[in-house]
Amino acid sequence: MITNIIVPQKFLKEHPDVVEAVLRGSVKTNAWINANLDDAKASANKALERLSGKALPADVIDPAWKFIQFTDDPLASTLNTEAEHAVKAGLLEKPDLKGIYDLTLLNKVLKAEGKSEVDDAGLGAE
Protein backbone atom coordinates (compact mmCIF):
# COMPACT_ATOMS: atom_id res chain seq x y z
CA MET A 1 0.00 0.00 0.00
CA ILE A 2 1.39 3.40 -0.91
CA THR A 3 0.69 6.59 0.91
CA ASN A 4 2.40 9.54 -0.70
CA ILE A 5 3.24 12.14 1.91
CA ILE A 6 2.92 15.48 0.17
CA VAL A 7 3.99 18.82 1.58
CA PRO A 8 4.56 22.21 -0.03
CA GLN A 9 8.23 22.99 -0.69
CA LYS A 10 7.97 26.02 1.60
CA PHE A 11 6.79 23.83 4.49
CA LEU A 12 9.51 21.29 3.78
CA LYS A 13 12.18 24.00 3.90
CA GLU A 14 10.77 25.59 7.07
CA HIS A 15 9.96 22.36 8.96
CA PRO A 16 12.15 19.50 7.77
CA ASP A 17 12.14 18.06 11.31
CA VAL A 18 8.35 17.73 11.25
CA VAL A 19 8.35 16.09 7.81
CA GLU A 20 11.12 13.73 8.88
CA ALA A 21 9.17 12.77 12.02
CA VAL A 22 6.08 11.95 9.94
CA LEU A 23 8.19 9.90 7.54
CA ARG A 24 9.84 8.08 10.44
CA GLY A 25 6.40 7.24 11.82
CA SER A 26 5.26 5.97 8.44
CA VAL A 27 8.35 3.77 8.00
CA LYS A 28 8.00 2.35 11.52
CA THR A 29 4.28 1.72 10.98
CA ASN A 30 4.91 -0.12 7.72
CA ALA A 31 7.58 -2.21 9.44
CA TRP A 32 5.12 -3.10 12.21
CA ILE A 33 2.38 -3.97 9.72
CA ASN A 34 4.71 -6.21 7.70
CA ALA A 35 5.87 -7.95 10.89
CA ASN A 36 2.31 -8.35 12.23
CA LEU A 37 0.10 -8.94 9.21
CA ASP A 38 -2.71 -10.71 11.08
CA ASP A 39 -2.89 -8.06 13.81
CA ALA A 40 -2.74 -5.30 11.18
CA LYS A 41 -5.55 -6.92 9.21
CA ALA A 42 -7.70 -7.23 12.33
CA SER A 43 -6.99 -3.61 13.26
CA ALA A 44 -7.85 -2.38 9.76
CA ASN A 45 -11.08 -4.35 9.77
CA LYS A 46 -12.03 -2.94 13.18
CA ALA A 47 -11.43 0.56 11.80
CA LEU A 48 -13.63 -0.21 8.80
CA GLU A 49 -16.35 -1.40 11.16
CA ARG A 50 -16.03 1.73 13.30
CA LEU A 51 -16.15 4.01 10.25
CA SER A 52 -18.80 2.23 8.19
CA GLY A 53 -20.74 0.26 10.78
CA LYS A 54 -19.78 -3.08 9.24
CA ALA A 55 -16.58 -5.11 9.17
CA LEU A 56 -15.58 -7.07 6.10
CA PRO A 57 -16.32 -10.80 6.36
CA ALA A 58 -13.30 -13.12 6.47
CA ASP A 59 -14.08 -14.52 3.01
CA VAL A 60 -13.62 -10.98 1.63
CA ILE A 61 -10.78 -9.51 3.67
CA ASP A 62 -8.58 -12.62 3.92
CA PRO A 63 -8.01 -13.15 0.18
CA ALA A 64 -7.81 -9.40 -0.49
CA TRP A 65 -5.22 -8.84 2.26
CA LYS A 66 -2.85 -11.27 0.53
CA PHE A 67 -2.60 -8.87 -2.41
CA ILE A 68 -1.75 -5.77 -0.38
CA GLN A 69 1.92 -4.90 -0.07
CA PHE A 70 2.94 -2.30 2.47
CA THR A 71 5.98 -0.40 1.21
CA ASP A 72 7.94 2.74 1.95
CA ASP A 73 8.75 3.18 -1.74
CA PRO A 74 6.49 5.71 -3.49
CA LEU A 75 7.16 3.76 -6.71
CA ALA A 76 8.09 6.91 -8.60
CA SER A 77 8.76 4.88 -11.73
CA THR A 78 5.04 4.16 -12.05
CA LEU A 79 3.94 7.80 -12.00
CA ASN A 80 4.69 8.46 -15.68
CA THR A 81 2.73 5.36 -16.68
CA GLU A 82 -0.21 6.36 -14.52
CA ALA A 83 -0.15 9.86 -16.01
CA GLU A 84 -0.03 8.42 -19.54
CA HIS A 85 -3.11 6.31 -18.79
CA ALA A 86 -4.93 9.37 -17.46
CA VAL A 87 -4.01 11.33 -20.61
CA LYS A 88 -5.25 8.49 -22.86
CA ALA A 89 -8.49 8.36 -20.86
CA GLY A 90 -8.95 12.10 -21.34
CA LEU A 91 -8.71 12.85 -17.65
CA LEU A 92 -5.81 15.28 -17.94
CA GLU A 93 -3.38 16.85 -20.37
CA LYS A 94 0.19 15.59 -20.38
CA PRO A 95 1.71 16.83 -17.12
CA ASP A 96 5.29 17.86 -16.48
CA LEU A 97 6.24 15.63 -13.55
CA LYS A 98 9.90 16.67 -13.35
CA GLY A 99 10.76 17.69 -9.80
CA ILE A 100 7.63 16.22 -8.21
CA TYR A 101 9.58 14.03 -5.77
CA ASP A 102 12.03 15.00 -3.04
CA LEU A 103 12.98 11.75 -1.39
CA THR A 104 15.93 13.16 0.55
CA LEU A 105 14.34 12.89 4.00
CA LEU A 106 12.66 9.57 3.25
CA ASN A 107 16.00 8.11 2.18
CA LYS A 108 17.60 9.55 5.31
CA VAL A 109 14.99 7.79 7.46
CA LEU A 110 15.29 4.54 5.51
CA LYS A 111 19.07 4.57 5.82
CA ALA A 112 18.82 5.19 9.58
CA GLU A 113 16.51 2.15 9.82
CA GLY A 114 19.00 0.02 7.86
CA LYS A 115 16.73 -0.15 4.82
CA SER A 116 17.45 0.41 1.15
CA GLU A 117 16.99 3.88 -0.25
CA VAL A 118 14.30 4.48 -2.88
CA ASP A 119 14.66 6.00 -6.33
CA ASP A 120 12.89 9.07 -7.73
CA ALA A 121 12.96 7.64 -11.29
CA GLY A 122 14.37 10.90 -12.62
CA LEU A 123 11.47 12.91 -11.22
CA GLY A 124 13.37 14.34 -8.26
CA ALA A 125 13.44 17.95 -7.14
CA GLU A 126 16.65 19.78 -7.92
The one-character DSSP state at 99 is: T
pTM, two decimals, is: 0.85
Contact 98, 76 (CB under 8 A): no
Q: Using the CB atoms, write b or e for 16-27: b if 16+ within 10 Å.
A: eeebbeebbeeb
pLDDT, tens only, 26-72: 999 999 999 999 999 999 999 999 999 999 999 999 999 999 999 99
pLDDT, tens only, 13-35: 999 999 999 999 999 999 999 99
> Domain residues of the chain, as ranges?
16-70, 72-126
